[in-house]
């Protein structure tokens, strides 16, 4: 039997990944007992920023009608759901204003075009309700210090606190800012944010990277008098400025969790803390240092536990010398390791395929490769994309490639804190109907529920069915769910788990079985008589994701040398074609599968680096009756890595 030359190294990687992706909450699963797929993680934060300043994302322009604003926002949420995201980060205080009826600050100009003008409804209440209706986490995003993107205070509404308290503000770089060094300013900012926390059912409070203003050449921040008044005990104005920001962070952490312990508090700092050339604790980079430039000591916030998560904006490509994505992801992982603070990576969706960007950002795989790099670091709990309009644009197919490779299945958000898991749902029932399989259960007051489906009848739950998300259909805040993907003939068992506010997961409910019919279905394994391949195809049992005893592999080549799976198709009709393969990061990212459909051979390209160890649907095809080569695996691909041929399943569909 032929084996892979990198067997020992890859085996080590597989064992490490298996140990890392097993959840720490929910059904108890032994890492040694279950083989998990890093492409379908059980838990992963997946979000996008929805930016309101300058009408970047939402509303698309100021002064839209209430109906138009609400329709646009629903569309953004539906986009997030379609990409299998589970969170949105919405900018609700972009310029010392509010997207809710605040007693502290005026209505935002980005809603109506006029600062202080009532939009005619409560956008925050609307947004939270709509997000939760889709079981998306709603993280309210606040910019702490920015007052206006111009330097003229007279353009502010007359009642704006920055006008009634002119000593609170300063102009710098053509913009207005609150002075972080004034204690009354810090108290006011915290009060304004806490107004939203206490009045709305937020899942998170999120601050962006704008603390002290980014440096402007030839200008000095005009806070020398404030330093003279409040900076006693600090050797330098830089140390004093950092402490002002630290106080805001520490006090916000305390106030948020005192009011609502379940609300997550996080920040998306600039991607570089300090360079190693400046500080041995820093990263191997050579870019702007946020510690020194904007006085943001983000590393300290992690070490002190003042944040629940950090989402550094690592907006550079892999291999970019001044700030390599891979270098920074490894560095931030080392910072959060052992602290209990989660690491979520800020991803530059706006750079993919955009004009004026480096060549790396013209590669549709760049963003997807970032998530492959993330898999090396168990500390990475997910990703947030800037911004929503760029997710929607999907330039050069970069978002589609990422979703296909990494978001093929839903994921539960990472659990926070140590709350006890809720009780398992009771009385789960499943009924087949014209729209799929309708499920219902008794919930017992949980916040949300996760629905899993396993093929066949399995009244007793297998813990390995929940070790990753391969069987996860979705989540909901209701006690009903419709599986619209169920076929008219398939037999399934459904399980439901309950989730609390911080996403701890209950054991599964009793299985609800839906019987299947006796429709035609056949599996052809590579060891069966119906399989044929040339001597160029090796045989291996290296991967635990194999189907049967072994599988076949071959190097890519610019020639026609497919491995074929022959089957006896009983009658002409519509058939679902599925494939099973062992996946590995070193396998081929563009393996061509050939389907001998009645209208001509169809080619489907599959990324075999992930998604293995389970049935993957190529599509539904019209097949002719007879015994012939139905599915082939071609070696003709320009990408590197072994192509894998393991098993196919062909199932006739009924109307």
Query: Which residues, listed in sequence order, are joined to residue 109 by a DSSP beta bridge?
Result: none
pLDDT value at 174 more than 80: yes
Is 316 contained in some domain?
yes
**DSSP notation for 157-218:** -TT-HHHH-GGGEEEETTEEEE-TT-HHHHHHHHHHHHHHHHHS--SEEEE-S-SSPPP-TT
412 lies in a domain? no
- Sequence-distant (6+) residues with CB within 8 A of 520 are 570, 651, 652
Which of 503, 518, 533 is the last residue before a domain boundary? 518
17 or 446, which is more confident? 446
* pLDDT value at residue 654: 66
Say yes or no: 460 and 575 in one domain: no
How crowded is residue 521: how many other Cβ atoms within 10 Å of its Cβ? 15
Whole-angstrom Cα distance, residue 650 to residue 630? 9
Q: Domain of 301: which CATH number? A: 3.20.20.80
Both 509 and 546 in one domain: the answer is no
CA distance 635 to 575: 25
Per-residue pLDDT band for 519 (boundaries 50, 70, 90) equals confident
Q: Which of 406, 429, 457 corresponds to the end of one domain? A: 406
pLDDT > 70? residue 598: yes
Segment 459-484, tens digit of pLDDT: 788 898 899 999 999 999 999 999 99
pLDDT band at 201 (very low <50, low <70, confident <90, very high): very high
Residue 265 main-chain phi, psi, to 5 deg: -120, 125
What are the backbone angles phi and psi of residue 126, rounded to the nearest 5°?
Answer: -60, -50
**Do residues 564 and 463 both lie within one domain?**
no
Same-domain check for residues 63 and 164: yes
Average pLDDT estimate for 222-242: 97
The reported pLDDT for the residue numbered 33 is 67
φ/ψ region of 182 (left if φ > 0, alpha if ψ in -120 to 50, else beta) reads: beta
Q: What is the mean pLDDT of residues 64-83?
A: 98
Position 635 in a domain: yes
Report if residue 414 sits inside a domain: no
Q: Look up the CATH number of the domain holding residue 424.
A: 2.60.40.10
On whether residue 429 sits in a domain, the answer given is yes
pLDDT given for residue 608 in this prediction? 95
Tokens (6 digits) for 547: 């189907």
First to last CA, the chain: 45
* C-alpha 593, offset from chain centre: 29
Q: Are residues 487 and 628 in the same domain?
A: no
The count of residues in the chain is 655
| Residue 43: strand pairing partners | 412
413 is a domain residue: no
Q: What pLDDT was estimated at residue 518?
A: 67
Tell me the per-residue pLDDT of 121-168, one tens digit each, with 9 for 90 and over: 999 999 999 999 999 999 999 999 999 999 999 999 999 999 999 999
Torsion of CA 405, 503, 259, 382, to 10 degrees: -20
Alpha helices in 375-529 (DSSP H): 388-393, 398-406
| Residue 499 within any structural domain of the chain | yes
Q: Rounded mean pLDDT of 170-174? A: 98
Residue 542 inside a domain? The answer is: yes
Averaged over 395-400, what is the pLDDT?
A: 97
Same domain for 180 and 197, yes or no, is yes
Which of residues 488, 518, 548 is at a domain's end?
A: 518
Please determine, for residue 177, whether its predicted confidence score (pLDDT) is greater than 80.
yes
154/275 same-domain check: yes
DSSP calls for 512-565: EEE------EEEEETTSTTEE--TTSEEE---TT-STT-EEEE---SS---EEE
Asked if residue 213 and residue 126 are part of one domain, the reply reads yes
The DSSP code for 482 is: E
**Burial bucket for residue 76 (CB in 10 Å: 0-12, 13-18, 19+):** buried
* Between 582 and 459, the higher pLDDT residue: 582
Report the number of distinct structural domains present in the chain.
3
- For the chain, what is the mean pLDDT? 93
One domain, residues 540 and 611: yes
DSSP-H helix ranges across 95-169? 109-112, 123-133, 161-164
Residue 19 has pLDDT above 90, yes or no: no
Burial classification of residue 74, based on how many CB atoms lie within 10 Å of its CB (0-12 exposed, 13-18 middle, 19 or more buried): middle
Q: Which domain holds residue 546?
A: 521-652
Which of the four pLDDT bands, split at 50, 70 and 90, describes residue 655? low
The residue among 224 and 11 whose pLDDT is bigger is 224
Q: Are residues 57 and 150 in the same domain?
A: yes
What is the C-alpha separation between 162 and 146, in angstroms, rounded? 11
Alpha-carbon distance 447 to 422, whole Å?
9
Same domain assignment for residues 350 and 467: no
> Residues 181, 75: one domain?
yes
């Amino acid at each position: 039997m032929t084996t892979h030359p990198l067997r020992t190294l890859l085996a080590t990687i597989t064992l490490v990944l298996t140990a890392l992706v097993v959840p720490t909450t929910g059904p108890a699963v032994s890492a040694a007992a279950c083989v998990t797929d890093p492409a379908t993680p059980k838990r992963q934060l997946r979000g996008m920023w929805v930016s309101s300043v300058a009408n970047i994302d939402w509303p698309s322009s100021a002064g839209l009608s209430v109906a138009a604003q609400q329709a646009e926002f629903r569309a953004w949420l539906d986009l997030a759901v379609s990409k299998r995201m589970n969170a949105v980060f919405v900018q609700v205080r972009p310029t010392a204003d509010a997207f809710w009826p605040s007693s502290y600050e005026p209505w935002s100009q980005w809603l109506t075009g006029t600062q202080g003008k009532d939009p005619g409804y409560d956008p925050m209440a609307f947004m939270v309700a709509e997000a939760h209706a889709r079981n998306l986490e709603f993280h309210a995003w606040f910019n702490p210090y920015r007052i206006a993107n111009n330097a003229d205070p007279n353009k502010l509404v007359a009642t704006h606190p920055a006008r009634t308290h002119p000593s609170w503000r300063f102009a710098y770089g053509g913009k207005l800012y609150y002075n972080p060094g004034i204690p009354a300013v810090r108290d006011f900012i915290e009060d304004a944010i806490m107004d939203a926390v206490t009045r709305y059912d937020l899942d998170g409070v999120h601050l962006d990277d704008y603390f002290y203003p980014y440096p402007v050449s030839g200008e000095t921040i005009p806070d020398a008098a404030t330093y003279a008044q409040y900076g006693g005990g600090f050797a330098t104005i830089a140390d004093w400025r950092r402490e002002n920001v630290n106080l805001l962070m520490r006090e916000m952490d305390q106030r948020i969790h005192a009011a609502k312990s379940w609300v997550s508090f996080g920040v998306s700092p600039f991607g570089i803390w300090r360079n190693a050339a400046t500080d041995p604790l820093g990263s191997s980079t050579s870019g702007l240092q946020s510690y020194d430039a904007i006085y943001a000591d983000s590393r300290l916030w992690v070490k002190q536990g003042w944040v629940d998560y950090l989402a550094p904006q690592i907006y550079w490509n892999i291999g970019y010398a001044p700030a390599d994505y891979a270098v920074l992801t490894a560095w931030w992982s080392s910072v959060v390791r052992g602290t209990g603070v989660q690491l979520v990576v800020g991803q530059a969706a706006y750079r993919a395929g955009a004009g004026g960007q480096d060549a790396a950002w013209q590669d549709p795989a760049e963003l997807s490769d970032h998530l492959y790099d993330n898999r090396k670091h168990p500390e990475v709990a997910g990703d947030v994309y800037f911004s929503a309009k760029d997710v929607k644009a999907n330039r050069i197919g970069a978002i589609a490639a990422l979703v296909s490779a990494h978001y093929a299945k839903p994921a539960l958000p990472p659990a926070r804190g140590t709350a006890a898991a809720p009780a398992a749902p009771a009385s789960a029932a499943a009924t087949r109907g014209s729209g799929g399989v309708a499920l219902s259960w008794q919930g017992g007051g949980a916040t949300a529920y996760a629905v899993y489906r396993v093929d066949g009848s399995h009244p007793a739950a297998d813990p390995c069915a929940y070790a990753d998300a391969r069987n996860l259909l979705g989540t909901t805040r209701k006690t009903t769910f419709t599986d619209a993907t169920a076929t008219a003939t398939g037999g399934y068992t459904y399980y439901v788990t309950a989730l609390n506010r911080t996403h701890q997961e209950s054991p599964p409910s009793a299985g609800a079985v839906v019987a299947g019919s006796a429709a035609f279905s056949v599996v052809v394994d590579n060891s069966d008589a119906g399989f044929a391949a040339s001597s160029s195809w090796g045989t291996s049992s290296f991967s635990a994701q194999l189907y049967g005893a072994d599988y076949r592999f071959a190097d890519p080549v610019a020639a026609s040398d497919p491995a074929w799976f022959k089957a006896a198709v009983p009658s002409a009709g519509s058939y679902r074609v599925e494939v099973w393969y062992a996946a590995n990061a070193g396998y081929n990212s563009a393996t061509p599968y050939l389907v001998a459909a009645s209208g001509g051979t169809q080619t489907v390209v599959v990324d075999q680096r992930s998604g293995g160890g389970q049935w993957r649907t190529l599509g539904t095809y019209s097949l002719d009756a007879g015994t012939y080569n139905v599915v082939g695996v071609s070696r003709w691909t320009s990408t590197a890595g072994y192509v894998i041929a393991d098993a196919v399943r062909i199932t006739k569909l009924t109307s």
